[in-house]
Amino acid sequence: MGEPLVLYSLEGDVALIRLNRPEKRNAISDAVIEALAACVARASAEAKAAVIHGAGEHFSAGLDIVEHVEKSPIEGVHGSRRWHAVFDTIQRGAIPFVAALHGAVVGGGLELAASTHIRVADRTAFFALPEGQRGIFVGGSGSVRIARLMTVARMTDLMLTGRVFTAEEGERYNLVQYLVEPGAALDKAKALARIAAGNAPLSNYAVINALPRIQDMAQDDALFVESIIASFTATSPEAAERLKAFIEKRAARLAVAGSGE
């Protein structure tokens, strides 16, 4: 059977999900998507936050091209829609996900990273969307998620010219929120995930599910939904206890994650 395509482990309240095809630069096949889906479902059921990272020298070089070229058009549509469904369970699921990025974060690998809520890159990371040079188009939600992170204009540049962004450019263009030294991304990602895991679960759910939807609404609709979500979370039993602890000066001090390294 060989090694699992995706490895899963649990460290306290944080699930660790590792892409495990280092010999293929963690290329994403249909089987990898299904293994990832199973790990995401398990993490959502038993953890309070999760980290996705890659084995070997790269996070992920993207789509498994060998598998992709053998598909008929309708098989390609079904495959793309399956990627969408699995990545949706990350972006709009039950718990926060943090990506630890190094080496290649390319094509489908960048689409996967864009579905997480916080992205940490070490200085070996580089970002590209070579679909234009391959004669194809992004199919794993990149035209929605990646474009919203770095703007349509920058994504168009990457796809038309084959340009490669460095880790520093990735941070500058909003692909990542944290930039660390080589080899430090996983530890930083785990530290951030532990902070998120300590939040009230309902607050985390509201942040990862309500916030992106609010951004898609007209202003008046968005403000109305914000009021509903704010009132709903504030009246939960956990919020009542946490607010009481704050008033009574029993609450833990704010964790400082840092703006970069």
Whole-number Å distance between alpha carbons of 29 and 12:
30
Instruction: Encode burial over 114-124: b for 16+ CB neighbours within 10 A, e otherwise.
Output: bbbbbbbbbbb
Catalytic residue among 57, 67, 131, 181: 131
Element (H, E) at 10: strand 6-11
Q: Answer whether 99's CB lies under 8 Å from 53's CB.
A: yes
Candidate list 23, 57, 111, 261, residue with the active-site label = 111
Q: Closest Cα to residue 116, out of 182, 34, 208, 30? A: 208
Buried b or exposed e, range 168-183, using 16+ CB within 10 angstroms: ebbbebebbbbbbeee
DSSP string, 209-220: HHHHHHHTS-HH
Question: Is 111 among the catalytic positions?
Answer: yes
In the annotation, is 238 catalytic? no
Inter-CA distances, 42 with 9, 11, 74, 100, 156, Å: 10, 14, 30, 19, 36
State the CB neighbour count (10 A cutoff) for residue 94.
Answer: 18
Bridge partners (DSSP) listed for residue 6: 19
Do residues 172 and 166 touch, judged by C-beta distance below 8 A?
Answer: no
The residues annotated with a catalytic role in the active site are: 111, 131
